[in-house]
Homo-oligomer: A and B are copies of this chain.
Amino acid sequence: MSLPIDPPPRLLMGPGPITADPRVLRAMSAQLVGQYDPAMTAYMTETMALYRQVFVTENEHTFLVDGTSRAGIEAALVSLLEPGDRVLVPVFGRFGHLLTEIAERCRAEVHTVEVPWGEVVPAELVEEAVVRVRPKLLATVQGDTSTTMCQPLADLGEICRRHDVLFYCDATASLGGNELPADAWGLDVVTAGLQKCLAGPSGSAPITLSPRAAALIAARRHVEAGIATDDDVPRGARIASNYLDLAQIMEYWGPRRLNHHTEATTMLYGARECARILLEEGLDRAIDRHRRHGEAMLAGVRGLGLQVFGDVAHKMTNVVAVHIPDGVDGDAVRAGLLEDYGLEIGTSFGPLHGRVWRIGTMGYNARTDAVLTTLAVLEQALRAAGVPVTPGAGVGAAREVYA
């Protein structure tokens, strides 16, 4: 017979998921109410209002998709794209590839602009490709944790407006810890997840849709046979997914409260609390906090003599990648950190697997004690692996940033 859940204590300083804020877990331990209970519909309405503030948007259609962050990505792409539509994806890491992969499964015609991992895509390159490809949609990641790069978006929004292109952004790894004012930057659709800067568990995907994105999606509205009324005349090309059909999900969250899935109440409690505590702190202060602790960690790993990967000027606030020193077995060091110290850091994917370590400072763990503890432990692990380190140099460099 299996025993009850009793996970070992960990300090999760990888690229996410990270340690959840205990307030989020407490919110998620609350008892359920019915799907159409006034308390439930009020929580849904409040959640929409809270995420409007997190996305810095006036978009009415701001809600949750019930699934992990990639459910949000797929909901956006499958609902925006019709077979044969052209989509342009700037690829600067694994999650750009994921966008192309999902868009291809939507049977879109996918074009990319690629740069080497560790760089971001210059706006001129994007505009040149927009002019050449004439896409319906520009789909980009903001922060690609596989490389730690944070793609500048402000100029891209303007390019999209200029060429009448829809603009989608996957902000899973960046939202709440990096600036992303959706309306000011001309974003039509943004999706996210809870497990990075929002300090919650994976499993719910906040999304916001601009009025023009919502109108485009509503023009493909097909209500299910089992619940459609005579007024629900099918419109446009049916969206290829039912579960991720934003036309129906918009109406589930909207005043009609059209029955669709059964809302994942516990995940909603968690998503609402993630936004609530972020806004209680203040969005700008939370972003500043991520910046400050990210700078401290950056200084700290440099103090330990580690070489930082990629274009530091375009690094996300909340994660840093460092080259694994020559001759060091990176996975063995990570296993030792976990076993001996309960500390988790990450490696990366594809061309960077086993070549870099990724260290996060995000959400609940964008904290001084988490940063200093990580650097103290890392110093011990590097020394044990035979890497020469100046005693106290990592913690010392971080302390200087805090001073």
Residue numbers of A with Cβ under 8 A of B are 1-2, 4-10, 12, 14, 16-20, 22-23, 25-35, 37-40, 43, 46, 49-50, 66-71, 73-74, 78, 93-98, 100-102, 104-107, 146, 193, 195, 201-203, 224-227, 238-244, 259, 261-267, 269-270, 272-273, 276, 279-280, 338, 344, 349-350
Which residues on B sit within 8 Å (CB–CB) of A240?
105-107, 240
- Top 8 A-B pairs, shortest CB-CB distance: A203-B264, A97-B226, A94-B226, A29-B29, A201-B266, A97-B225, A67-B67, A5-B27
Q: Is the Cβ of B201 less than 8 Å from the Cβ of A264?
A: yes
Distance, CA A270 to CA B50, complexed state (A): 26
Distance, CA A14 to CA B36, complexed state (A): 11
Q: Is the Cβ of B74 less than 8 Å from the Cβ of A241?
A: yes
Q: What are 10 sample pairs from A and B whose C-beta atoms fall under 8 A apart?
A: A4-B273, A9-B31, A17-B265, A22-B31, A67-B261, A68-B261, A68-B264, A71-B71, A74-B243, A243-B244
Which residues on B sit within 8 Å (CB–CB) of A280?
1
Which residues on B sit within 8 Å (CB–CB) of A242?
70, 74, 98, 101-102, 105
Given known A265-B202, A267-B203, contact A4–B20 (CB-CB < 8 A): no
Min Cβ gap A27→B in Å is: 4
Distance, CA A272 to CA B5, complexed state (A): 8
Which residues on B sit within 8 Å (CB–CB) of A270?
266
Distance, CA A340 to CA B175, complexed state (A): 42
Which residues on B sit within 8 Å (CB–CB) of A12?
32-34
User: Given A5-B269, A74-B241, A202-B263, 19 other A-B contacts at CB below 8 A?
Assistant: A2-B46, A4-B23, A4-B273, A7-B39, A8-B37, A10-B31, A17-B34, A34-B338, A66-B68, A93-B226, A94-B226, A94-B227, A98-B224, A101-B224, A102-B242, A105-B241, A202-B264, A203-B264, A203-B266
A203 to B, closest residue via Cβ: B264
Min Cβ gap A164→B in Å is: 28
**Contact partner of A227 among B74, B107, B350, CB < 8 A?**
B350
Which residues on B sit within 8 Å (CB–CB) of A17?
32, 34-35, 262, 265
A20 to B, closest residue via Cβ: B32
Given known A193-B262, A202-B263, contact A5–B30 (CB-CB < 8 A): yes
Distance, CA A269 to CA B347, complexed state (A): 25
Which residues on B sit within 8 Å (CB–CB) of A9?
31
Min Cβ gap A263→B in Å is: 7
Which residues on B sit within 8 Å (CB–CB) of A97?
224-226
Distance, CA A266 to CA B195, complexed state (A): 11
Min Cβ gap A114→B in Å is: 11
A69 to B, closest residue via Cβ: B262
Distance, CA A238 to CA B106, complexed state (A): 11
